[in-house]
Each structure stands twice: as structure tokens, then as C-alpha cells.
Chains A and B, each alone.
Chain A
Amino acid sequence: MTPLHTALSVLLAPLASAAFIALFLRRRGTAASVVSVAAAAFAALGGLELAFGLSRFSGSVEWFRFGSFAVELGFKFDDLAALMLSIVGVIGLCVHVFSLGYMRDDPAKARYFGGLSIFMFSMIGIVLADNLFMMFIFWELVGFSSYFLINHWYEKLSASDAAKKAFIVNRVGDFGFVLGIILCYWRNGTVNLTELGASHDLVFSRLIPLLLFCGAVGKSAQLPLQVWLPDAMEGPTPVSALIHAATMVAAGIYMLCRINVLMVPSSMEVIAWVGTLTALYSALCAVTQRDIKKVLAYSTLSQLGYMVAAFGLGSVGASMFHLTTHAFFKALLFLGSGSVILGCHHEQDIFRMGGLRTRMPVTFWTFTVAVAAIVGLPGLAGFFSKDAILVLAYDRNPAVFAVLALTAILTAFYMLRLWKIVFLGEPRGESAGQAHESGVSMTAPLVLLALLSATGGYMWLYHGAFGGVFSQIPEAAGSAHVVILLTSLFVLAVGAGSSLAFYTSDGSDALEQRSPAAFGFLFALRACFDRAYDYYVQKIQQRAAMALNFIDIVALAGIAVRGLAGAVEVVGFGVRALHTGRINNYVYWFLAGVVVLWAFAAGVL
């Protein structure tokens, strides 16, 4: 098999699995899960084989053509795509295996695994796509899969609302994305990534990257479209791990890195600030959350903000490096929280957990590794990638550096809060007291991901396979090296230390007790976007819709449509009255006709 065939089969295997499940296995959950996991394993192995076998290729075929406008389907498999494909494959496989345990007793298991497969297909499509049109198609498919999986427990109103919200908010971003694609095609004559990269007379416009960035804002949940991601935690926990932490939301970052050639400094600056503010805002929101998954959701937003900021500061390498390590430890955090939630019989409130350290040892230790990685404990994956971003920010933009360092303090603060409240102390709820360790299908992915989270920051792990991306990671030089190291140790010590000292294991939120004002402020900060959108939708959009509806009823339906029909009807009614069917009446009309004719002939009329 040539690498191209391997790539094609990696792309199509999950689709085949989804189709097979949809057609034949809808009522046979166990069989469906086996098929889906097999497809995911195939995709993961094929992807790793391609990535580490150093196969790099590109090629496309024409799909259809309108005049001079041709839409092509093709693969562009460079180091960037290879890296992303490996991440998607590995994390996807872990989540599939984890789901075997997590969703074992779910009545709609077949639908769930079919959804995972269609998601894998869509995501691999984005990764391999060699032009923006094809990427957009898979982009929308990913949006659909996300909707489908968030909505898995659709009988729950909150789940179906969250799914709709995710879908609609993404549409807002995608509208900008599609405008950007059209503008790019109009100005440059092509949207093929290879051709754009090789083109010498590229039109640089501020608008094109910003419009394309809109797509990333929606998919990667940056300000101001971040509202869908915390709500999307209504889906099953492995879905949150796969889609809303490790891969799908990373698609926005990946897309930005793909269109790097189109960037201009002024739009990069906007992107950097959007990312920075998202990082800070979400970290602040995470501090007050009680739901274990929502803490992690805001933490995801915050880390995505880091990646966007890194990209905006001009380093694809730093952005993708953090994406990689984040995928490992965030998937681990989510899967660990899934294990906790299942162990506690679907209890998600962290203040009703506690004491899980001894009851769920594997989950505890792997979760601890992930927490250590995300807060940047030296030696673990997050330390290297976060430092790369901080080096970059220190070098390029001190203001961004300051905000990101503050965010790092907050990250350490809320992650340690979560860790301490969930695992330490005594059980505070009945379900936490009866918690038990999960089965091997759930702990095995945790251990694998813990290993990756610990080692993901070292370049030997990648065997030099992604040199095209990782060679661009900024390195601190001279005094900056010391500054960065001290900064990261300082923020870690401050954040973690204050959190461990501040929070107790007595089942109440210490911040809420000791400083209600600060707590209330952070809580309102979290809600303000939802409030603003609610206000906009209910008061402004709804009224505009009512006005349009009124115009529609009166002008279009009333006058234009109903009025025209009414006029014809009235005429018809009158004419029908003349038509009596009696010869005598017709003779009168005949007479009248003769009189008129005579009048014409005589020149009277």
C-alpha cells in the first residue's frame, strides 16, 4: 500500500464503521462498540505508521467544476498534519477504549459508538484536507458530530439545549469562516493550501485572516463565542474528553496553523489578544465552578487561549506543541473525571466527593500526573509547552506575557483546588463513600495518557518525526532563560500554595465563605456573556423577528399573495353571477352587445 492509500483507508475506516453501525447494528450495542473501537485502532495505527514512517505527500482529485471554479478533494500530509493525525488517533483510541467501560450500560450504546466513529472520520478529514473548501466540509461534519454526541442523552432538556447552543454558536463563527474562504478565493484565485504556500504574489489583506479566524473562534471557543463549551459538558464524559478538550476544539488552532501564510501582523495582534483575554477570562471563571467537568471545561478554554495567543505571537511551533501536550493531559483529566463520576454514581459536584485518593488509586495517581502537567510542574509535559509560550510572549509582547503569567497562577490555583477537594479529605457524600475503582478498560487509557502527559514535553518521544513543526519552538536565550524559569516556578508556587492553604476539605467553597463579594463577582463574570446573549436574542433579535413577521404577514402574505388571490376571486364571483345558464339572460347580453356595437358604428362612443 502506498502512503496515499494508507491515508485514504485511515480516513474511510471510521466512516465505514459509522455506516455499518447505522445500517446493521443499531440494536446491538456490544457489536457496534467492537466495530467502532476496531476502526479507531486502525485509524490510530495507520496514522502513527504514516507519521513516524516519515511519509509526507500531497495530492488531489477534482470533485466537480463550475466553469473555471473547481472544487477538489485532496490530502496534504506534512509534518503539521502528521502531528495532528497522531494526536487525533491516539486520543481517539484512548477515548474509544475508555468508552467501552464508561458506556457499558447505556441503552443507546450503538448510537454513541456510531457517533464517535463519524466524529473520527470528520476530524481526520480536517487534518488531511489540502484545501479550505474540503476543510470546511469536514469542519461542518465535526460540528454535526459534536451536536450529535452532546445530544446523546437527548431526553434531558439541558443536554438538548446545550447541543443546540453548541451548534448555533458554531454557525456564527462558521459564517465568518466561509466568508473568509470566499474572500481568499476571490483575491488569490485558489484556496489550496500548498498553492497558497508556494504562491509569490499572495494578496495580503487584514480581513481574510480575521474572517478565517472567526471559524477558529467558534470551533475553539474563544471570546466572545466561548459560551457553548461549558454547556457542552452535558454530553457523556468521554465525548467531553475527545471533542471538547483534546481534538475538536484544537481544530481551530490547527486551522490557524494551516493558513499561517495568509497572516499579516495587524491581524496576528488581534488574534494574540483574543487568545490572551480568553485565557484570563476562563481561568477566572473556573475558580467558582462546583461541577468537576465545568472546571475542566473552563480550563480547556483557558489553555486554548494560550494556544491562540502563541499563534498570534507568531509561533506555530509553540502553539502546536502546547496543543499536543494539552491533548494528552486534558484528555487524561477528562477521562479521570469520567472515572470519578462513574465511581461516584454520576455525582458531579466536587463538594460532595472527597476522599477518593484511597478508593480510586489508579484514577488518583493518573489524575495527579495530569494536574501536575497542566500547572507546569518542571519535568512534565505542560511545563515545557507553557514555558515555550511564555518565552515567546516575554520576547514579543510584555503585556501578553504579564496576563499569561497571571493566568498561569490562576490555573495552578483552580486545578489544585479541584484536586484537593475531590481526592483528599474524607468522603462528604454517600456516593463518594461507596466509590470504587473503575475497570481495566477505563484505567488502561488513563495509564497510557499519564505516561504521555509525563513525557510529552521531551523531543525524543517524537523521534524527530515532526521536525517541521517542533523546530519552530522558541527557545529562551541568556537571561530570558532564568527569568522564564523563575516566573514559571513562582506562578506555580503562588497558585498551588495559596490554593492548598486556602481550600479545606469540609464540603464548602472557601472562597464563597470568606469573600462572598469576590465569589459573586467571578460568578457574575461567568454569567455575563450568557446574559448579554440572552438579552440580545430575547429583546433585540426576537423583536426584529416579530417586526419582520408583521411585515411578512401584512405586506407579503396579506397584500401581495392574499390580495392578488382576493382580487381574482372577487372578479370571478362577479363574472359567475352573470353566467345564469338561461337563454333569456344571454339574449339581454346579446342585445346589449348589439347596442354597444351600434354605438361604435354610429360614432357615439
Chain B
Amino acid sequence: MTPSLEAYVMLSAALFAVGFLGVLVRKNTLVIYMCLELMLVAATLALVAFSHFNGTLDGDVFVFFILTVAAAEVAVGLAIIVALFRARKTVRVDQLDSLKH
């Protein structure tokens, strides 16, 4: 028995919600970053599912692009976080509030 399209979409939505909630409430930049990735993966999952059930390759091709961009983004983002930690000795967003002052 194969899961239905609804199940894939529901899973995708649940993953997205988890990721979004994480971005909203977590304080650690690394965790927020992982949550962002989770939201990206949720979108990817939905695309793959639609592609499979529609029998076209559009979604699959799009996913390749997304993965490529995400890999580049991770490299840059992690570098920024490391640099930030070196400069400020913390990666907690509630302590990184110098924009306010």
C-alpha cells in the first residue's frame, strides 16, 4: 500500500510548521538555522510528492535546484555563524540585539 498524496502534503505541512515554530521560539542561532532548513525540506517534500502523483518531472528538477542552492546557503550561513561567534562569543539571538541600541 502506498501513502496517498494527502499524507505527503500533511507531512510536508507538519514539517514546515515545526520548522516555522522553531524559528519563532528558539534562541540559538544554530537551531534556528536548522529549523530554516527543515522548512526548506518540507517544501522539497511537497514538490517531490506532487511531481510523483502528477507524473511529470517539473517538481523533481526544481528540487535539484533547491538542494544546490541550499548547500551553498548552508556553507555561507554556517561561516557567518562561526564568524559571529568569534566576534561576539555567543550565538544566542536574545543577546545579539545591538541593532536596537
**Chain B 64-101 against A: per-residue CB contact (8 Å), 1 yes, 0 no?**
00000000000000000000000000000110111111
In angstroms, Cα B65 to Cα A35, docked, is 99
A588/B97 in contact, CB under 8 A: no
Chain A binding site: helix, strand, loop or mixed by DSSP? helix
Does chain A have a CB within 8 A of B49? no
In angstroms, Cα B32 to Cα A584, docked, is 10
Within 8 A of B (CB), among A568-594: 579-584, 587-588, 591
B98/A583 in contact, CB under 8 A: no
> Which residues of the partner chain B approach A587 to less than 8 Å between Cβ atoms?
23-24
Which one, B24, B25, B27, B99, contacts A581 given CB within 8 A?
Answer: B99
Q: Nearest-CB distance from A530 to chain B (Å)?
A: 66
> Which residues of the partner chain A approach B94 to less than 8 Å between Cβ atoms?
582, 584
B97/A584 in contact, CB under 8 A: no
Chain B binding site: helix, strand, loop or mixed by DSSP? loop
Within 8 A of B (CB), among A17-64: none
A580/B97 in contact, CB under 8 A: yes
In angstroms, Cα B21 to Cα A587, docked, is 10
In angstroms, Cα B100 to Cα A97, docked, is 79
> Which residues of the partner chain A approach B32 to less than 8 Å between Cβ atoms?
583
In angstroms, Cα B27 to Cα A579, docked, is 18
A583/B93 in contact, CB under 8 A: yes
B24/A582 in contact, CB under 8 A: no
A579/B24 in contact, CB under 8 A: no
Q: Nearest-CB distance from A575 to chain B (Å)?
A: 13
> Which residues of the partner chain A approach B97 to less than 8 Å between Cβ atoms?
580-582
> Which residues of the partner chain B approach A591 to less than 8 Å between Cβ atoms?
24
> Which residues of the partner chain B approach A583 to less than 8 Å between Cβ atoms?
32, 93, 96
Q: Nearest-CB distance from B88 to chain A (Å)?
A: 13
> Which residues of the partner chain A approach B96 to less than 8 Å between Cβ atoms?
583
Q: Nearest-CB distance from B77 to chain A (Å)?
A: 13
A588/B100 in contact, CB under 8 A: no
Residue of A with least CB distance to B98: A581
Q: A580-B100, A581-B99, A583-B32 are in contact. Are A588 and B93 (CB under 8 A)?
A: no
In angstroms, Cα B93 to Cα A591, docked, is 18
In angstroms, Cα B33 to Cα A583, docked, is 12
In angstroms, Cα B99 to Cα A582, docked, is 8
A581/B101 in contact, CB under 8 A: yes
Residue of A with least CB distance to B94: A582
In angstroms, Cα B99 to Cα A124, docked, is 72
In angstroms, Cα B99 to Cα A579, docked, is 8
In angstroms, Cα B63 to Cα A206, docked, is 98
Q: Nearest-CB distance from A123 to chain B (Å)?
A: 69
Q: Nearest-CB distance from B38 to chain A (Å)?
A: 15
In angstroms, Cα B97 to Cα A240, docked, is 78
Beyond known contacts A582-B93, A584-B27: 7 more, CB 8 A cutoff: A579-B99, A579-B100, A581-B97, A582-B100, A583-B93, A584-B24, A587-B24
Binding site for B on A (CB under 8 A): 579-584, 587-588, 591
User: Which 6 A-B residue pairs are closest in the complex by CB-CB distance?
Assistant: A581-B100, A581-B97, A581-B99, A583-B93, A587-B24, A587-B23
Binding site for A on B (CB under 8 A): 23-25, 27, 32, 93-94, 96-101
Interchain residue pairs with CB less than 8 A apart (20): A579-B99, A579-B100, A580-B97, A580-B100, A581-B97, A581-B98, A581-B99, A581-B100, A581-B101, A582-B93, A582-B94, A583-B32, A583-B96, A584-B23, A584-B24, A584-B25, A584-B94, A587-B24, A588-B24, A591-B24
